[in-house]
Chain A
Amino acid sequence: MAIDKFLVEASHIMMFARSVGDANPIYHDEEYAKRTDSGGIIAPPTFAQSSAQFDPDYFLRPKIGGEGWFGSGKEATGSKPSKDSGGGGGGGAAMGLHAEQHFEYHMTLKAGDVLTATTKPGNSWEKESKRAGKLKFSESVTEYRNQDGELVITATGVGVQTERAVDS
């Protein structure tokens, strides 16, 4: 996965903060945020995950005029997207689950920043589990750099492919 332009915008930060139940005004009130040490609106700690919005090939988004979708319409199925088409900083493939996520913050991510992201595969390993059969883990490491080329966030995601649905 590579993202050429991830625009970090105040309105997107506001919507993202709402969705994770965060009412902190530093995520939506510019006047308040100006008076803080950061000098403006900043992004919540997991915001980089929404870079998926800026990945043209992100496989967990229905495509306009696209290749079909695997959610229910008239029937309870559809075509599955390719397992190889992007990963959004981890999270696994089509029927995969997200096993782990790690962020390292080198700088504070702010509204107005323009990021690029490049992802490289990391380790992969297998494990047997009682609750979901054979588990195949794979790691991906994404580096987010700002408009000055500075490293802002390193994100490491671990996805897992399960043999069957996880017993609860």
Chain B
Amino acid sequence: MLKENEIKVGDTHSSVLVEDLKRTQIVQYAGASGDYNPLHTDEIFTTQIAGYPSVFAHGMLSMGLTGTMLTDYVGDGALKKYGVRFTNQVWPGDTLTGKATIIEIRQEDDGKVIDLMIETTNQDNVSVITGNATAKIES
């Protein structure tokens, strides 16, 4: 868990979430999450029937990858809230970078927390996820 005297508003943490996203990782996420929507794994269906240029990642895979960056920063079991908007699709071959920025340090009933702004971008610096989180810190 982050310590209050070691952080300040404006601090950022960033990491590369995935490089050259493979279709196999999307299949792996489908199996683990149970979301077998063919838009994510069935290239023939997705291009010929649904009209997309290729399969694309589950939004929740992008949120999960971004969550890995987030918990690496704030620590295990520290999150109180985590929410995102899916702003653009993520395609096989994408390289994603996630970033969390501390926007506020404040007191809640049961202790000190930080509010974070979250953004995940692809290799073209296009945002694929924007969001917010709140995490417990040690005071």
| Proximity bits, A78-109, B CB within 8 Å = 1, else 0 | 00000000001001000101111111110010
- A50:B33 contact, CB within 8 angstroms: yes
Cα A51 to Cα B52 in complex, Å, equals 28
Q: How far is the CB of A73 from chain B (nearest CB, A)?
A: 9
- B82:A103 contact, CB within 8 angstroms: yes
Q: Does B107 contact A (CB under 8 A)?
A: no
How many residues on B have C-beta within 8 angstroms of the other chain's C-beta atoms?
A: 48
Q: Does A64 contact B (CB under 8 A)?
A: no
- Determine the chain A residues whose CB is within 8 A of the CB of B18 once the complex forms: 21
Closest residue on chain A to residue B85 by CB atoms: A100
Instruction: Indicate whether A101 sits within 8 Å of B63 (C-beta atoms), given known contacts A19-B28, A95-B50, A165-B50.
Output: yes
Closest residue on chain B to residue A107 by CB atoms: B77
Cα A46 to Cα B60 in complex, Å, equals 8
Instruction: Indicate whether A62 sits within 8 Å of B77 (C-beta atoms), given known contacts A20-B61, A22-B68, A101-B83.
Output: no
Q: How far is the CB of A18 from chain B (nearest CB, A)?
A: 7
Cα A18 to Cα B53 in complex, Å, equals 27
Q: Does B5 contact A (CB under 8 A)?
A: no
Q: How far is the CB of B16 from chain A (nearest CB, A)?
A: 10
Interface-located stretch among A34-42, A118-126, A141-149? A34-42
- A99:B86 contact, CB within 8 angstroms: yes
Q: How far is the CB of B91 from chain A (nearest CB, A)?
A: 8
Instruction: Indicate whether A101 sits within 8 Å of B67 (C-beta atoms), given known contacts A61-B34, A71-B38.
Output: no
- Determine the chain A residues whose CB is within 8 A of the CB of B52 once the complex forms: 165-166
- B29:A19 contact, CB within 8 angstroms: yes
Closest residue on chain A to residue B26 by CB atoms: A19
Instruction: Indicate whether A52 sits within 8 Å of B33 (C-beta atoms), given known contacts A21-B65, A76-B49, A103-B82.
Output: yes
In the A-B complex, the 3 residue pairs with the closest CB atoms: A20-B64, A102-B83, A71-B38
A selection of 18 A-B contacts at a CB cut-off of 8 Å is A20-B29, A20-B67, A21-B17, A21-B18, A38-B76, A44-B64, A52-B34, A52-B35, A60-B37, A72-B38, A72-B44, A76-B48, A76-B49, A91-B60, A97-B86, A105-B81, A105-B82, A165-B51
Task: Using CB atoms and an 8 Å cutoff, list the residues of chain B in contact with chain A.
Answer: 17-18, 25, 28-29, 31-38, 41-42, 44-45, 48-53, 58-61, 63-65, 67-68, 70-72, 76-77, 79-86, 88-89, 91
